[in-house]
Amino acid sequence: MARAAGRQAAVQACQYPPGRSLPEQLEWMRSIAHEGNDLSPRCDNGTVPTLNDLARSHTSLGDADVEWLHSLVSDWQLLADLSFADLILWAPASDGTGWLAVAQMRPTTGPTSLQDDVVGTFAGLEDQRLLDVARNERRIWRESDPDWTTGVPVRTEGIPVTRANRVIAVIERCTNLNSARTSSRLELTYVQGADDLARMVAEGTFPFPGAEAMLVRSPRVGDGLLRLGKSGRVSYASPNAQSAYRRLGLAADLIGSELGVITAGLCASDEPLDESLMVVAAGRAPRVAEVDGNGSVVQLRSIPLIVGGSRTGALVLVRDVTELRRRERELMTKDATIREIHHRVKNNLQTVAALLRLQARRLHAPEARAALEEAVRRVGSIAVVHETLSHAPEEIVDFDDIADRVAMMAGEVSSAEFRVAPKLTGSFGLLPSLVATPLAMVLTELLQNALQHGFPSAAKDDGLLEVAAARENERLMVTVSDNGVGLPGDFDLDSSTSLGLQIVRTLVISELGGRLRITPRPGGGTEAVVDLPVGHDPSPPRSESTQPR
Ligand SMILES: Nc1ncnc2c1ncn2[C@@H]1O[C@H](COP(=O)(O)OP(=O)(O)O)[C@@H](O)[C@H]1O
Ligand SMILES: [Mg+2]
């Protein structure tokens, strides 16, 4: 009954009118609830506020408390699953007039008793007496009668969340009694485990202090569950857990055996005995370990149960990850293969370039010779990209490296007496290989033109050749400018039929979907601007990005 009132008073925190103090907001919420407004349980924008937002703006919990709640909710699926129940985490509102639902979890082992999302809901003190009792008496408190407001009997309990000897929040556990399973061994074991865990939450020993948040999904109850007694012997094994151990090569029964010893015995024999695995399998440390044996890989997660200061045993969650690990290995080999192919393509391109160079040396007609040398450079710029890709973990390259090397190659070709070294500023950032290869060729052509046509004879002392790159709004802008002799008077980019600019035009416009402009540079010389759509740059911004490199 109390719950019914609490639900009806439901108001979403994110619907608060902005610019009011908390007491005003709470007052506003209560007034709306009493007017009987039918408020949608979700925010207007369809999002549910986060634990952080709610805790920081509407409770007086400190950083360490909020951190504790985070670590609790990162792990409380376990409690929901073992309890076959929904969990709602309520934190006291900072003005002491009620409770705010800051997180919610549904069980994966049974039907939910809460159809709607309740995160962000406010409940007055009188609406949720259960929470108050649990907080004040500092123990798990069960409502004597089931709640029938939703048409099904729901048993509610308040579990105080204790940190550093203070109750910082209360978990409301809602069990749908209609769907309660028959009291099988499995259910009894689950519920008993849940009660131990709930008591640990109330005593401030769960979540495990200092335990690191798990980056990979930890095993769930449904993956397989073992219950160990005080001595580390298995007292219950779910069918999935049994199967996982069978696949590891266990012929004997799990029940009654010491899990630490048995598990160590199943490990692939050529590997040294893993002490930490034994500790985990014996249920002594709250950690995750992996057993590799008989061609199978099984993940174990152990949750030591210590209630009222004494060990009652442990829960060990068991998950067969053989397929997952196999796929990971496959992906790793695939990556390695792709890198090897790039390496070979680079070698082949270098061979082609070397052959062309040999042929060029044998030619006497200067024009033919120059044409072959140009081909050598074009092939070379593609090889640079493949070389970089052969070291890249993905098909994404740091184009700044490539630009450096392309510029160096172009500089080398300009004859020694009037060398103008290209200067690079800004940053290209990371680019997919599909963009990198054509762009490397474009850059080669533009640099080549500047060196060849901009500074055709003796270099001026103040010869300037600059490549500036900038990423903005998912576009890459590359400007190649020189202060050389400038474009011929009849220059027209669109009608130019010479090979170099034709290549540039085709690559920039048709292949990369970008824009190209080649115009006289203000102050003399030539300026070529390439503007490409390249998507978002995943690399962190460089602080020195406007400095010359
Ligand atoms: N940076 C530059 N400075 C002066 N002239 C240029 C520049 N870039 C291009 N041009 C002119 O554009 C013409 C076409 O260039 P391109 O298509 O690369 O052919 P090629 O380099 O083989 O002559 C060049 O011959 C040159 O007259
Ligand atoms: Mg050219």
How do the pLDDT tens digits run along the chain, 549 residues long? 344 434 433 333 333 333 444 444 445 444 444 433 333 344 445 566 788 889 988 899 999 999 999 999 988 999 999 999 999 999 999 988 899 999 999 999 888 888 888 999 898 888 888 999 999 999 999 988 888 887 888 899 999 999 999 999 999 999 988 876 667 888 889 999 999 999 999 999 998 876 655 555 678 888 999 999 999 999 999 999 999 999 999 998 899 999 998 998 888 666 666 677 888 888 888 888 889 888 899 999 999 999 998 999 999 999 999 998 888 888 888 888 888 899 999 999 999 999 999 999 999 999 999 899 889 988 998 999 899 888 887 788 899 999 999 998 887 765 544 568 889 999 999 999 889 989 999 999 999 899 889 887 755 567 899 999 999 989 999 999 999 999 999 999 988 888 899 999 999 999 999 999 999 999 999 999 999 999 877 665 544 444 444
Most ligand 1 atoms within 8 A of CB, residue of 373, 444, 446, 453 to mutate: 453
Separation of CA 501 and ligand 2 centre (Å): 6
Biggest alpha carbon distance in the chain? 104
Q: Say how many Å lie between the CA of residue 542 and the centre of ligand 1.
A: 33
* Alpha helices (H) in 145-258, listed in sequence order: 185-203, 239-247
Give me the pLDDT at residue 212, please.
59
Q: Residue 525 CA: which ligand 1 atom is closest? A: 3
Nearest CA to ligand 1 atom 23: 498
Report the nearest-CA residue for atom 26 of ligand 1: 453
Ligand nearest the Cα of residue 410 is 2
Ligand 1, atom 3: closest residue by C-alpha = 454
* Nearest CA residue ID for atom 25, ligand 1: 453
| Among 447, 501, 519, residue to substitute to test ligand 1 (most atoms within 8 Å of Cβ) | 501
Q: How far is CA 549 from each of CA 404, 462, 542, rounded to the nearest angstrom? A: 9, 19, 12
Residue-level pLDDT at 104: 95
Look at residue 389 in the predicted model and tell me its pLDDT.
87
Q: Which atom of ligand 1 is nearest to the CA of 488?
A: 27
User: What is the pLDDT at residue 152?
Assistant: 83
Closest ligand 1 atom to 499 CA: 17
Tell the residue nearest (CA) to atom 18 of ligand 1: 500
Any ligand 1 atom below 6 A from CB of 498:
yes
Verify whether ligand 1 is closer than 6 Å to residue 488 (CB atom): yes
Residue 293 CA to ligand 2 centre (angstroms): 63
444 pocket-lining for ligand 1 (C-beta < 6 Å): no
CB within 8 Å of 492: residues ≥ 6 apart: none
CA 299 – ligand 1 centroid, Å: 64
CA of 455 to the centre of ligand 1 (A): 11
Round to whole Å and give the CA distance between 387 and 350: 10
How many CB atoms lie under 10 A from the CB of residue 63? 9
Q: By C-alpha distance, which of 522, 520, 431, 444 is closest to 475?
A: 431
Residue 480 Cβ inside 6 Å of ligand 1? The answer reads no
Residue 503 Cα, ligand 1 centroid: separation in angstroms?
Answer: 12
Cβ(525) – ligand 1 distance below 6 Å:
no
Distance CA 424, CA 517 (A): 19
Q: What are the Cα distances from residue 266, in Å, to 110, 254, 292?
A: 33, 12, 8
What local confidence, expressed as pLDDT, does residue 52 receive?
87
Residue nearest to atom 9 of ligand 1 (CA): 449
Ligand 1 centroid – CA 449 distance (Å): 5
| Ligand 2 midpoint to CA 366 (Å) | 16
Does ligand 1 come within 6 angstroms of the Cβ of 526?
yes
519 alpha carbon, closest ligand:
1
Give percent helix, percent strand, percent coil of the chain, each to the nearest 5. 40, 25, 35
pLDDT at residue number 256: 94
Q: Name 55's Cβ contacts closer than 8 Å, sequence gap at least 6.
A: 61, 65, 66, 69, 91, 102
For residue 107, the CA-to-ligand 2 centroid distance in Å is 68
pLDDT of residue 114: 85
Q: What is the pLDDT of residue 475?
A: 94
Whether residue 535 has its Cβ less than 6 Å from ligand 1: no
Q: Tally Cβ neighbours within 10 Å of residue 256.
A: 10
Residue 205 CA: distances (Å) to CA of 112, 137, 183, 304, 461: 27, 18, 28, 10, 75
Q: Which atom of ligand 1 is nearest to the CA of 501?
A: 17
Q: Is 26 in the pocket of ligand 1 (CB under 6 A)?
A: no
Regarding the beta carbon of 482 and ligand 1, being less than 6 Å apart is answered yes
Residue-wise burial string across 214-244, b where 16 or more C-beta atoms lie within 10 A, e elsewhere: eeeebbbbebbbbbbeeebbbbbbbebbbeb
Residue 81: alpha-carbon gap to chain centroid: 25
Whether 505 lines ligand 1, by a CB cut-off of 6 Å, is: no
Report whether residue 359 contacts ligand 1, using a CB cutoff of 6 Å. no
Nearest atom (ligand 1) to Cα of 374: 22
Q: Which ligand is nearest to the CA of 521?
A: 1
Given a contact cutoff of 8 angstroms between Cβ atoms, the answer to whether 189 and 227 are in contact is yes
Report whether residue 380 contacts ligand 1, using a CB cutoff of 6 Å: no
Quote the ligand 2 centre to 400 CA distance (angstroms).
23
Note the helical H segments in 397-491.
399-413, 433-449
- Residue with CA nearest ligand 1 atom 8: 449
Regarding the beta carbon of 496 and ligand 1, being less than 6 Å apart is answered: yes
Tokens of 11: 């108001």
Which pLDDT score, from 0 to 100, does residue 447 have?
A: 93
